[in-house]
Amino acid sequence: MSKQAVVLGAGFSGLAVASLLQQQGWQVTLWEKNPEIGGRARLWSHGGYDFDMGPSWYLMPEVFERFFALFGKTPESYYGLTKLQNQYKVFFEGLPSVTVTDDLKATKALFESFERGGAAKLEQFLAEAKLKYDTAMNGFLYKDYRHLGDFLNWTVLTKGPGLGLTGSLDKFVGKRFNDRRSRQILEYAMVFLGSSPANAPALYSLLSHVDLNLGVWFPRGGMNGVAQGLARLFSEAGGTLVTKKEAVGLIVRNGRVERVQSADGEEKSVDLVVNTADYAWSETTLLQPQWQSYPAAYWNQRVLAPSMFLAFLGVNKQIPGLEHHNLYFSADWNQHFKSIFETPAWPQNPCFYLSAITKTDPSMAPSGAENLFLLIPAASGLPDDDDFRSDYLDKALRHVEAVTQTSFRDSIEVQRVFSQRDFQADYHAWKGTGLGLAHTLFQTAIFRPARRSRKVGNLFYTGQYTHPGVGVPMTLISAQVTAQVIERSLKP
């Protein structure tokens, strides 16, 4: 009889690791707290609109291909994919907007228009970014780190100086480009990895290769469509998925989890537990103090990734002048970063991301309507009551209209705000963080929380808190590495 494994959380990492464990021979039950699967990539449907509630960029397609290949499958077996020709539009404060396409020659010409020699600079920058990306993919993203020696392998030791493990991304880009538009396009992705360019290692310039060389893709049905595909894979493997099933405690005896308690009173006997729910909450809530590898004091000293002010907007008309992905960068975006990481406060004149998914997939809204998703990064732990939300949303929408030179507030027929207290309530997110731990030098690789409990022998972790960190592709990689560690450590 197969041994019993319980995976907590049906986000990307949970769905992925559950299928991998089922493949190894475990009998896997996947518990999801919420009624919907996908974790932060849930789908909210209302009034004919289908809103992706979290991740909206499909990047690093080879990571998805590599995962599905483990089952002899391809991503296209589970969801359709479209490469975006117009990857995103950027609105710069005080300067004309630009559209970044999948035509690298056009992108080089764009950078040349920003500054003399910009095309040649970008070509060299992207060559270095590709080297970093290839080194990361082959050298350390798909690895487990338990000791510093694990990280200081031959690849890191020989290529380390060129990888940018110590200097900041902001300084690295600033030494090569003068125009703020060039710098902002090459640095903005760090926000979605939960850090600022000033605090992130220059290693993360590899994201420009992901962006400008590999391109931006769209999965049919949005990112929740990917989650649905992963759920189907798990079902085909013979696993059991249970929604509205919240874990409230792990009963440990003799250094092993013996039973998992649920909010509805069930106690399920287990041989293995893999937690993909919020790492900080799980350690400090599900476990008694003597079994916690990382108590509250540890988490209170970490640099948290931003939370977010999200607004899902159904607009009963089409809005010209937008692309599928739209970004706004203020002239002094450092003020926004300071409000996140130095002096926590809700940002004024905030940078923002605006998705208009209906530009690519009109089926996500009623005919002739627009589906908008607004994201403003903000510090974790800020006030978030109803009065604040109403006031801030009004200011934010006026801000978006002014930046994009559009008018849509009077045409909004579906509206929902999702912010700090929702992240806490729906995902048990530590202090309302949207992404977990920020990607700083001392929260990278070996310095991220371990994927195996130091005190409980059959308790493992995967997801955005563990190496390699934040982002959908990273959580898939994390799931694969955790499954490999389990396979070496325990037998079903």
State the pLDDT confidence band at 154, using cuts at 50, 70 and 90. very low
Nearest C-alpha neighbor of 61 from the set 33, 82, 46: 82
* Mean pLDDT confidence for 331-336: 93
Q: Show the tokens assigned to 197.
A: 């360019």
Query: Are β-strands 247-253 and 240-242 bridged in parallel, bridged antiparallel, or unpaired?
Result: unpaired
Helix (H) or strand (E) holding 151: helix 148-151
Query: What is the pLDDT, as a whole number, of residue 45?
Result: 98
Is 439 within 8 Å of 423 (Cβ atoms)? Answer: no
* Mean pLDDT confidence for 331-351: 93
Amino acid letter, residue 490: L
pLDDT at 230 over 70: yes
User: Which stretches of 214-317 are DSSP H helices?
Assistant: 223-236, 279-281, 296-300
The conformation of residue 214, written as its DSSP 8-state character, comes to: I
Query: What is the pLDDT, as a whole number, of residue 157?
Result: 47
pLDDT at 160 over 60: no
pLDDT at 141 over 80: yes
pLDDT in tens, 47-90: 999 999 999 999 999 999 999 999 999 999 999 999 999 999 99
pLDDT at 148 over 60: no
pLDDT at 2 over 80: no
Higher pLDDT, 158 or 166: 166
Q: Show the tokens assigned to 110.
A: 């764009």
* Mean pLDDT confidence for 258-266: 97
* Mean pLDDT confidence for 308-318: 98
Q: Show the tokens assigned to 277.
A: 């729910």
CA–chain centroid gap for 421, Å, is: 19
* Mean pLDDT confidence for 434-457: 88
Query: What is the pLDDT, as a whole number, of residue 162?
Result: 57
* Mean pLDDT confidence for 399-427: 97
Higher pLDDT, 162 or 482: 482
Q: How many CA atoms lie within 13 A of 93 on its CB side?
A: 13
Torsion sign, CA atoms 145, 150, 155, 159 = positive
Query: Are β-strands 459-461 and 272-275 bridged in parallel, bridged antiparallel, or unpaired?
Result: parallel
* Mean pLDDT confidence for 304-331: 96
Average pLDDT of the chain?
94
Domains for the chain: give ranges and CATH numbers: 4-46+222-302+440-489 (3.50.50.60), 103-214 (no CATH)
428 in helix, strand or coil?
coil
**pLDDT above 90 covers what percent of the chain?**
86
pLDDT at 299 over 70: yes
